[in-house]
Amino acid sequence: MAETYDVAIAGGAAHGSSLAYHLSANPGFSGRVLVIERDPTYARAATSLSLSSIRQQFSCAVNIRVAQAGLAFLRAAKETLAVDGDGPDLHFRENGYLYLASEAGAETLRANHAVQTAEGADIALLDPEAAKARFPFLNTDGVALAALGLSGEGWFDSYTMMQAFRRKAISLGAKYLQDEVVAVEREGARVTGVRLASGRRIGCGAFVNTAGASGAASLAREMGVAIPVESRKRCVFVFEAAQVHEKFPLLIDPSGVYVRPEGRHYVIGGPPPEPDPDCEDFEVDWPQFEEVLWPALAARIPAFEALKLVRAWAGHYDLNVFDHNAIVGRLPGYDNAYLACGFSGHGVQQAPAVGRGLAELIAYGGYRALDLSDFSFERIAAGRPLLERNVI
Ligand SMILES: Cc1cc2nc3c(=O)[nH]c(=O)nc-3n(C[C@H](O)[C@H](O)[C@H](O)COP(=O)(O)OP(=O)(O)OC[C@H]3O[C@@H](n4cnc5c(N)ncnc54)[C@H](O)[C@@H]3O)c2cc1C
């Protein structure tokens, strides 16, 4: 007879491991949890290749609420995720995001700011003079307005967060298996089990797809559901330069180029390349640095005319091409299959709240701490986009 678990999760990075932890810790759930992860080195998981930043500056209220829940989680993670008194240090640096807008983008920045402050986010609008006074290294030519996160925004270590979720989940009884889900078996509207690349079959009471850019869309397709999620390559470059400000924020230029400190270096990335195909290669687009990123950076921060490129990497967004927002909840056509993907470049900060929400949906049949139903697949089926305008 096949081995059976109450919940089988495909993909054990930030989202799969957050869910495994939140299920195992949920007093309303007493079942057995199995996480099936094909690559426990996580070398190509977006979670490992992420810039790992958290912001409140979204245009959709639900994303702001999710970020606030993520923030509360990060602040308490050392205690919450401790095993035998040993808690993780997620190296959370709360330096804020600084969005710079040109005249063309100022109205959108103002509209987003109204949504953010209505949700209680601590964001200040600054005119160019105020931005320059706070960050004297900036050239504010062409800047009409800026928005700065005064608290609740910054960056952390998403790889350590994922490993801490995993370790804590295991300490609470969850199991991890190195294998790949290749097929999902069903009887009517119920998933009954999964087939693995090794040839094993695992029976399950519920199935969750958290397989990210490399696996979520193909697994959903295997289950007969087309989801508008594509794998889009994004490159990150690391450079060395003189320190220009002690509280350097995550700065977003009107051109879409963004930069932030990382230890004694800086990391920089930019707007989507043209063309921006659905792809799985990990080749770094080196000319992007020389031709797009550095010129924009040096124009905005003249001190960075002198810098040394140290290294670079490429990772993949699980981009929801329908509306740039997560798809979370029940998979249509199934009573016991769930999905969390399409995070479109803001998925690690959403992992704590989404894992908690999915655990509630599985344990209680509905969301409790935070309503995530805006993210449900129904909006896609109905052709009603929940457009997130602030995608980096
Ligand atoms: C360059 C870059 C910068 C980013 N910056 C940020 C940021 O600043 N802030 C932010 O919040 N987000 C950011 N993101 C996005 C964020 O990293 C992702 O949204 C998030 O990590 C997604 O986590 P996940 O667990 O859903 O997927 P992943 O981390 O991709 O993990 C999916 C896992 O599923 C496994 N898998 C796939 N198929 C199968 C299968 N069939 N069976 C078993 N296992 C399978 C894979 O091996 C993988 O480990 C960034 C992403 C990139 C690439």
| pLDDT value of position 34 | 99
pTM of the model as a whole: 0.98
Distance CA 91, CA 101 (A): 29
CA of 348 to the centre of ligand 1 (A): 8
> Tokens for 289?
């640095």
Distance CA 141, CA 102 (A): 9
The answer to whether the CB of 348 is under 6 A from ligand 1 is: yes
| pLDDT value of position 1 | 52
**Residue whose C-alpha is closest to residue 378's, from 386, 370, 366:** 386
The answer to whether the CB of 181 is under 6 A from ligand 1 is: yes
| pLDDT value of position 288 | 97
| pLDDT value of position 349 | 98
The answer to whether the CB of 38 is under 6 A from ligand 1 is: yes
The answer to whether the CB of 70 is under 6 A from ligand 1 is: no
Q: Which atom of ligand 1 is nearest to the CA of 343?
A: 19
Contacts with 235 (C-beta within 8 Å, 6 or more apart), sequence order: 269, 284, 285, 288, 289, 312, 313, 314
> Tokens for 19?
């869910």
| pLDDT value of position 212 | 98
Mean pLDDT split into 10-residue runs, the chain, 392 residues: 91 98 98 98 98 97 98 98 98 97 97 98 98 98 98 98 98 98 98 98 98 98 97 98 94 98 97 94 97 98 97 98 97 97 98 98 98 98 94 83
Q: Which atom of ligand 1 is nearest to the CA of 36?
A: 43
**Residue whose C-alpha is closest to residue 366's, from 357, 375, 376, 353:** 357
CA of 104 to the centre of ligand 1 (A): 33
**C-alpha dist (Å) from residue 200 to 9, 38, 177, 203, 350:** 15, 13, 11, 10, 32
CA of 304 to the centre of ligand 1 (A): 31
CA of 73 to the centre of ligand 1 (A): 19
CA of 373 to the centre of ligand 1 (A): 22
The answer to whether the CB of 316 is under 6 A from ligand 1 is: yes
